[in-house]
Structure 1
Amino acid sequence: MLYMMGRISKHHQIDSSYRRANIATKITCSMASNKTSSRKALTLDDRVKVIQLHEKGKGSRAIAEIMGVGKTQINGIVKRKAEVMEEYESNVPSERKREIRKTGNEDINELCWEWFKDVTARRLPVSGPMLQEKALKFASDLQNTEFKASNGWLESFRKRHNIVFGKMNGESGDVCDDVVREWTQRLPSLCQGYSPRDIYNMDETGLFFRCTTDKSLHVKGEDCSGGKKSKERLTLMLCANMAGEKEKPLIIGKSQNPRCFKNINPKTLPVDYYANKKAWMTSDVFENWLLSFDRKLGRQKRKALLFLDNATCHPHINPRNVKLIFFPPNTTSKLQPMDQGIIQALKLKYRKRQLQHIIALMDEDKSKTGPDAVKKTNVLEAIYWVHRSWQDVKDTTVMKCLERLGFQPVRWQLRKSLVMVMVIVNWNLRHRNCLAVHCRI
C-alpha cells in the first residue's frame, strides 16, 4: 500500500513539473510571437525614402535592415509606389503613418482640392466657409444630397491636404520670375571690375520706435490685453557693402529739434539726422546723403557701385565716385538684399534694447505699467538704440544676404586675390633664382 502511494506521489510530481514547463513554454512562445508580430508603421517620408532607395538599385532585404522593418513590408510599399508618390505630391502631411481612408466622397474631395490649388495659385484668400460653400456646390452638381460639408468634413479635408490658416503678406506674389532670372544673370557683369568693398546696397524702412511686440507669454485662460499701439515712426536708411562694412545710419524724424535734443548738437549724433513733416525719405534728403557719401569715397580715392530701389525719392543723378544701379521696378521683395534679413536683424536687436530699458524703468517704479514705460521712449533714445543695434548686426549676416541674391561671394574674390598674390610671389622668387644662377656663371 505504501509502495503504491509512493508511486502515485512520484507520478503527481512529474505531471506537475511537466505542466509547469508546458505553461512556461507557451508563455515564452506567446511573447516571442507578440514580439515578432509587432509591425513598425512608416511615415509618408519614410515610404518615399524606401522608393528612392529601391530606385537606386538597393534590394528589399537591405532596405528592410536600413528602415528597421520586415522585407514583406518593403515589397508592399514598392508595389504601391504610384499611390505613395501621389500622396506625397498631393501635399499630404509627411508625418502621416496610415493610408488615407476612403470616405465615400472622394469625387467631391478631389474637385475641392483642385479648386483650392487653382485659386490659391492666383492669390485669392480662402477661408473655411468659402471651402464648405464650394464643396456644397460640387455636391449639388454631382446630385449628392447626403453630403453636408460639416465642420468635421472641413477639418478632415484640411488635415488630409496639410492645409493651415495663415496671413497673406509681402509683395513677392506680384514679382515676375522672368525679370528676377534675367537680373540674376546680368548681376555678375554689372559687378565686374569692382572689389567687394566697393559694391554697396542701401534701403529704407519704417520704425515705430515706441511700439513693442504684440505677442507675449501668458497664463492660459487669463486676459492678455495690452495698451494702445503708438503710430509714431522714424524712417531709417541703411547702407552696407559686400564685405560686411556698414555705413552710418540715416534717420528721418518729424521734428528738427525735438525736446530730447536740448543742449545736444545733432551733428554729434552717431547717425545722420534729418526731419520733415511726414518723416519720409525725400529726393533732397537722399541727394544730400549721396553727395556726402560720394565725397567720402573721393577722399579715399575709390569708385563704388550702389544698388538701390527704383523709387521716386531716389533721383537719377551721376555723382563723381558712385555709380547708381537701380533694381527693376516692383522687385524689391525678391531682389533687395536688405529685405532678406538685414533690416529684420537690426529691428530685433532694437526691440531687445527697448524691452531691457522698459524692464529697468518698471523695476525702479513698481507702480508703472508696460504701456506707461513705452510712452516714455524718446527720439534720442531710439537713435542710440538704432546705432548700437546696427553695430551689432554681424558682417556675416550682411554678406550672406547679398550672396543669397546672386552677388559674388566675398570669400571667392578674396581667394582669387590670394591666388594671384601667390603666383606673383612665386614668379618673383623663380626670377630672382634665375638671376643669381646667371650671375654665378
Structure 2
Amino acid sequence: MELNGKKKLHALSLAEKIQVLEMLDESKMSQSEVARRFQVSQPQISRICKNKEKLLADWCSGTANRERKRKRESKYSSIDEALLCWFHIARTKMWDVTGPMLLQKAKELADIMGQEFVPSIGWLVRWKRRNNVCFGQRHPTRAVHPLEPLCDKGPVPASLSLPQLLKDFAPENVFGCGEVVLLYKAMPGREQEVREQLCVVLCVNGSGTEKQKPVVVGRRLAPRCFFGVNTETLPVLYRSSANSQLTPELFSEWLTDFDREMGRQHRSVALVLDAERRCPNPEPANIRLVFLPPRPRHDDSPSPCPLHPDIVRDFKSRYKRRLLGKVFSIGSETDTSPASIASSITVLDALHMVAAAWDKVQPSLVERCFGEAGCSKGKGSFGPSRHPPPRGMSLEEFRRFVDMETELAYPPTLPPTGAYKEEEEEEEGEGEDLFGSLPTKADALKALGTLRRWFECNGSAEGVFRQFYSCEEEVERLCCQ
C-alpha cells in the first residue's frame, strides 16, 4: 500500500500514447475502458486526446524519443530548435559532431538571437534526450577510387555491364537491396482469404557476410501487439505506410542511415537497386547507387539484388516453415483449427519469424547468386537450395505455398474501407489478452524454469542447453537492473 493512500503515478511513453489514440479511433471503447487497460487515470487519457495532433506530429517527425514519458519544454526553445536544425545539416554533410562543438554552436546561436544563455553539460544531455539525438564521428568518404553517382543517369547503360561498373569494388563492398511482399499469416489453400501483408526490405553484400537488419513495413503505425515493447531493441526495423509499401520517404530514411554507417566504417560501397527506385536528395556520400535496367514481369534471370529468385525463395521457405511449425505445434495441444491459429499470428510474431528466416539464409547461396549476375566471383554452392516439404505436404504443394504471393500477383492496393473495419474488429478480439498486464521479472524467471524442465524431459541436444544458458544469463542480467 502506498504511503498516505496516494496512488503511484503511471506515465505513458510516446509510443504508448500513440497506441491509446489508435485504440480510441479504431474501437468503440470509452476513455475509461482504455484508461483501465493502460492502468492510468481517465483525465490522463483525455489530455492525450486533447494533444492528439502534437503527439502524432512528434511521432512522425522521427526525432522525438518514442520511449520518453514526459516532455519538458526548454526555457530556450528557439535555441533548441536552431541547434537541432544545424545538427541535421551537419549529419547530412557527414561532419564530425562532438559535444564541445554543440556547446559552442549553441552559444553562437544564443548570441545571434540576443539571448543571455550559457550552455552547460547538463543542458546538452537534456537537449539530446529531448530530441532523441545521439552522435558519433561522421567521417567523410575515404574511397580509393572516386565514386561517380549514377543517380542522374538512370538505369545501367547498355554499353556498360555490371562487372565493368563494379570492378573497383570487392564482393564484400557490393550490396543489393530489394523488397519482398509477404502474406505473413496465410495458410496453404486459404490464400484468397488473407488480406494482411507486410513488405520486407532485405539488403546483403556479395559475399553474404553482411546482412543488414531487415526493414518491415506494415499498415499500422503502432500495432496493439507492440504494447509495452521497446521497438528499438527488435531484430528488425518496423515502419508503416498507408498501403504497407516502401515509400520513397521510408527508403530515403533507410539509405541515409546506411550511408552514415558506411561513413563510420570508412568504407565506400556500391548498392544495386531496381530501376523503379529514384535517387534521393541529397545523394549519399559513401554509396555509389547502381540502378538495374527494367526487368520484364516474371523474369527469373539472374539478378544481383536480394530479390534473386533463389534467395527470395530461400528466405520465404524458411519463414513459411516457421509459420507452419508454430501453427501445428499450437494445434497439437488444442482443438483449435490451423486457420484459426494462423489468424491470431500478430505483426510482432511475424517480425521475429522474418528475423529468424533472414538469419538462416546461407552466405554461400548469396555469393553464388551475386556471382551468376556478374557482380562478384561467386564461389558458393551451385544449384538452388532445396528445402524438404513439411510433413503432410508434397514438394509441389510447398512450392506453391512459398510462391503464393507471386502466383496471386498480389496487388499493392488498399482493401475496401469495410474490410479495414472488419480487420480491426478481428484484431481487437485477438488482442484482448495483450493488455491485461505486462510480464514481470518473476514471470520471466518462472518461464525459464519451465522451459529448462521441458528440455530436460524431452531429451534435447547439448547444443540447445548452451543456447538456453545464454538466454538464461541475459534474462537474469535484465532482472538485476
With the length of structure 1 as denominator, give the TM-score of the two structures. Answer: 0.47
Radius of gyration: which is bigger? 1
Which structure has more helix as a fraction of its residues? 1
Comparing both chains, which one has the higher relative contact order based on Cα–Cα distances under 8 Å and sequence gaps of 6 or more?
2
